[in-house]
Amino acid sequence: LHLSPSSSSSSSFSLLSRSQSPLSFSKPLLPQTSSLLPSSSSFSSSFSSSSSSSSVGMQSTDGNPRTKVAKSESDWKKQLSEEEYEVLRLKGTERPGTGEYDKFYPKKGHFVCKACEAPLYTFAAKFDSGCGWPAFDKCIQGSIKTEVDRSLFSVRIEIMCASCGGHLGHVFGGEGFTDTNERHCVNSVSVKYVDKELPGEYAGDGEGKILPTMAKG
């Protein structure tokens, strides 16, 4: 299924309302009773606000340690724009076709988390799924944290930055777009493109899928 951007939008970025959300393709990862993407008005308790900023070790989906960037919600509000905060911290969703990176296919470089700048995806992982949001078929190992999301009468797998917990989007499997058979549906506002090679400390991590790892758990 493909959704078109709202013709009434007055800017290049507009958020779906809390009761709206993008549709998945024919084979979502888990059964569902609704075509709506889950959303919530507050961030998960595992990444709740704190009175200070800090960095501590955490485990991502593949078990690799990552540095967790923890900030108070007031600090995030100061750092992020209104749209960025709505998506990254409150799990909002930008309208399809309005994102900066929807139709952007670089020949080099990588994408980082907009909130903490942790590397997430290489340029080679991005592909055209026609869904209206940036799509990636694999991630840098250890860069993504996942949670089962059952809000709004649906069952989805949410993907978040493993370093700061920022909401990226959702991951779907079994659609057959690429050899990995995995689609990371990501909000443009959640990431930033960097026109450089991966930093040395990440270059050796490689790229991989996350669904098989989740299935083992």
CATH number of the domain that residue 69 is part of: 2.170.150.20
**Among 151, 168, 137, CA closest to 47:** 168
- pLDDT beyond 80 at 62: no
Q: Is residue 36 part of a domain?
A: no
Q: Is residue 211 part of a domain?
A: yes
Other CB atoms within 10 A of residue 212 CB: 12
Region 1-20 average pLDDT: 42
**Among 185, 182, 191, CA closest to 212:** 182
The beta strands (E) that lie in the chain are given as: 54-59, 65-70, 110-113, 119-122, 126-127, 135-136, 139-140, 144-149, 156-161, 167-173, 182-186, 191-194, 207-208
Predicted pLDDT of residue 180? 93
Q: Is residue 85 part of a domain?
A: yes
- pLDDT beyond 50 at 157: yes
Tell me, what amino acid is at 89? R
Residues in the chain: 217
Tell me, what amino acid is at 77? K
Count: domains in the chain: 1
Q: Is residue 66 part of a domain?
A: yes
Q: Is residue 183 part of a domain?
A: yes
Q: Which residues are catalytic?
A: 185
- Helix, strand and coil content of the chain, in percent to the nearest 5, comes to 15, 25, 55
Q: Is residue 20 part of a domain?
A: no
- pLDDT beyond 80 at 166: yes
- pLDDT beyond 60 at 17: no
Q: Is residue 6 part of a domain?
A: no
3-state secondary structure of 45: helix
Tell me, what amino acid is at 63? G
3-state secondary structure of 49: coil
**Average pLDDT for the chain:** 76
94 DSSP assignment: B
Predicted pLDDT of residue 156? 93
Q: Is residue 182 part of a domain?
A: yes
Domain that holds residue 130: 45-216
Residues 6 or more apart whose CB falls under 8 angstroms from that of 81 comprise none
3-state secondary structure of 73: helix
In contact, 89 and 166? CB cutoff 8 Å = yes
